[in-house]
């Protein structure tokens, strides 16, 4: 059980006294790098105490991968067990409220992540989805910044990290949570997982161990078995796609998926473009959200043609802050700004990164006209536009932060083109699909576009029915969203109104 020091064992009676389990989303720099996002503040979700389970190397516990599910993800984590009630405690006193440290495995099925809008109730709340133990390390005997977490998948070491450089140290988590709720004795905090979490299949065994000097939790062992009871027809059904496979395995390569199509490889067909033009960005946004994509909108801009819906592939241009010596070498002549304008192709959208700087124009009437002549579908910049009246009179829409009379060189240097940029708070890559209308501007990964368009069309058809029913005087209760009774009526309506 230990590496030189004896630790007591976690028991079923102790788990029975646990009233809540609180989990942290991202806390290890290695995981943040893998996910491509680093939170400024910790965020949490709850797991039911009924998900708790025991297991050891000598007596492994079992967890069922629900019938019909493909992606049972495992995440080795360090668990904190509260010993003394904590309410509005300071960071300095927070660690004294933790009694025990042990190992945990934050299991979940990615097939159901879409179902609960971020609460993880279905995806991470299943029976046995939170194994903990087996040994308990006294919190007052260890330095919380010097713990080590390791995970083995079928005997292979897949996670190995320490708590030395956590985004949110353990004491901060305890203090932060205690601001709004009382942490009670027996409550468990799962403190995040490092890079290396992946997917386990029936027949696999996952082991997790926490060590601190001579102390060890022992190996928490969990064997995966296949569920045999199918989901009922009245709830959310398992649904996996490549976006969830990439999330579950940690990368497209690990999931056995082909690399995403590049700008050169992807072709926006007339058929797909027509589909995307037929649905509004509000619908597309909700479908992106179902696929776990929240940070895909270019925000804070206005449009010269707000009545237009624009669809096209992104070309990119990046400005850097002006430095007079560099502007002399990069600002004049056939600079990156002019090269970008002069190479944009028919139907493409030129997206500019101007860092949200509004103190100068990033495009004016002559260059905007040149883009229109070349067939550009739109220009998008999170900086200023000069010659606004002339730009606004063009048929081609321009999306911009504000009008400003200053010429190039006051705040910006046009630096490079056709690279990954940031615009309006999101990342844009060359070849991404841009959809813009009066509701906003979305960036759509090309690999998701076909499926996204089809599901959006289906959603808008369903909402047409709902709107018609509301117009006829029906209450939205049970209608929006559709319950089983209304769904049957919708299916009947759909048959009568099919093309």
Q: Pick out the residues of the known binding site.
A: 364-367, 386-387
Alpha helices in 291-345 (DSSP H): 324-330, 336-343
Structure tokens at 147: 């713990």
Q: Is 364 left (phi over 0), alpha (psi -120 to 50) or beta?
A: beta
- Neighbour count for residue 401 (Cβ, 10 Å): 19
Q: Beta strand pairing status for 220-226 and 61-65?
A: parallel
Which residues are CB-contacts of 187 (< 8 A; sequence separation ≥ 6)? 18, 19, 20, 21, 22, 81, 82
With beta carbons less than 8 A apart as the criterion, state whether 174 and 183 touch. Answer: yes
Write b or e for each residue in 19-48: b if 16 or more Cβ atoms lie within 10 A of its Cβ, otherwise e: ebbbbbbbbbbebbebeeeeeeebeebebb
Q: Pick out the residues of the known binding site for Mg(2+).
A: 387
With beta carbons less than 8 A apart as the criterion, state whether 107 and 75 touch. Answer: yes
CA distance 446 to 458: 19
CA dist 43 to 26, 198, 292, 468, Å?
8, 21, 16, 39
Which residues are CB-contacts of 365 (< 8 A; sequence separation ≥ 6)? 386, 387, 390, 391
Structure tokens at 334: 């056939």
CA distance 434 to 413: 25
SS3 assignment, position 418: coil
For residues 460, 462, 463, 464, the Cα torsion angle rounded to the nearest 10 degrees is 90
Strand partners, 130: 52
- Neighbour count for residue 188 (Cβ, 10 Å): 25
Residues in the chain: 499
Total H helices, total E strands in the chain: 14, 30
CA distance 156 to 132: 20
Strand partners, 207: 152, 221
Crossing angle of helices 281-290 and 449-471, rounded to 10°: 120
Q: Pick out the residues of the known binding site for substrate.
A: 364-367, 386
């Amino acid at each position: 059980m230990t590496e030189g020091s004896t630790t007591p064992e976690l028991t079923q009676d102790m788990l029975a006294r646990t009233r809540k389990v609180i989990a942290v989303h991202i806390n290890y720099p290695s995981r943040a790098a893998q996910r491509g996002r680093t939170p400024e503040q910790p965020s949490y979700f709850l797991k039911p105490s009924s998900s708790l389970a025991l297991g050891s190397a000598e007596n492994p516990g079992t967890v069922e991968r629900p019938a019909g599910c493909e992606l049972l993800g495992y995440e080795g984590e360090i668990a904190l067990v509260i010993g003394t009630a904590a309410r509005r405690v300071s960071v300095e006193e927070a660690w004294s409220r933790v009694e025990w440290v042990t190992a945990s495995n934050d299991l979940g099925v990615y097939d159901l992540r879409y179902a609960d809008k971020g609460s993880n109730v279905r995806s991470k709340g299943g029976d046995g989805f939170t194994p903990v133990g087996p040994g308990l390390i006294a919190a007052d005997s260890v330095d919380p910044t010097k713990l080590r977490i390791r995970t083995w998948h079928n005997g292979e070491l897949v996670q190995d990290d320490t708590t030395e450089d956590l985004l949110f140290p353990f004491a901060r988590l305890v203090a932060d949570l205690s601001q709004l709720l009382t942490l009670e004795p027996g409550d468990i905090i799962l403190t995040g997982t490092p890079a290396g979490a992946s997917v386990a299949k029936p027949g696999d065994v996952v082991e997790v161990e926490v060590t601190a000097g001579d102390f060890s939790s022992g190996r928490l062992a969990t064997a995966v078995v296949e569920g045999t009871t199918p989901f009922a027809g009245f709830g959310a059904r398992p649904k996996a796609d490549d976006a969830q496979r990439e999330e579950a395995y940690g990368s497209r390569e690990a999931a056995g998926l082909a690399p995403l199509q590049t700008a050169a490889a992807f072709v926006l067909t007339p058929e797909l473009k027509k589909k995307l033009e037929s649905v509004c960005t509000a619908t597309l946004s909700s479908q992106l959200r179902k696929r776990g994509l929240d940070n895909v909108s270019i925000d804070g801009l206005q449009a010269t043609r707000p009545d237009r819906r624009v669809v096209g592939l992104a070309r990119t241009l990046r400005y850097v802050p002006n430095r007079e010596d560099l502007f002399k070498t990069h600002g004049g002549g056939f600079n990156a700004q002019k090269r970008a304008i002069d190479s944009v192709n028919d139907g493409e959208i030129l997206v500019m990164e101007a860092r949200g700087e509004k103190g100068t124009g990033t495009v004016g009437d002559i260059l905007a006209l040149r883009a229109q002549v070349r067939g550009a579908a739109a220009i998008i910049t999170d900086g200023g536009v000069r010659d606004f009246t002339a730009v606004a009179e063009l048929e081609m829409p321009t999306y911009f932060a504000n009008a400003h009379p200053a010429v190039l060189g006051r705040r910006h240097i046009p630096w490079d083109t056709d690279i990954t940029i940031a615009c309006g708070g999101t990342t844009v890559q060359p070849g991404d699909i841009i959809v813009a209308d009066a509701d906003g501007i979305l960036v759509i990964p090309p690999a998701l576009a076909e499926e996204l368009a089809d599901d959006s069309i289906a959603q808008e058809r369903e909402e047409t029915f709902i709107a018609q029913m509301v117009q006829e005087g029906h209450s939205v209760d049970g209608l929006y969203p559709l319950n089983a009774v209304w769904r049957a009526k919708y299916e009947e309506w759909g048959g009568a109104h099919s093309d």
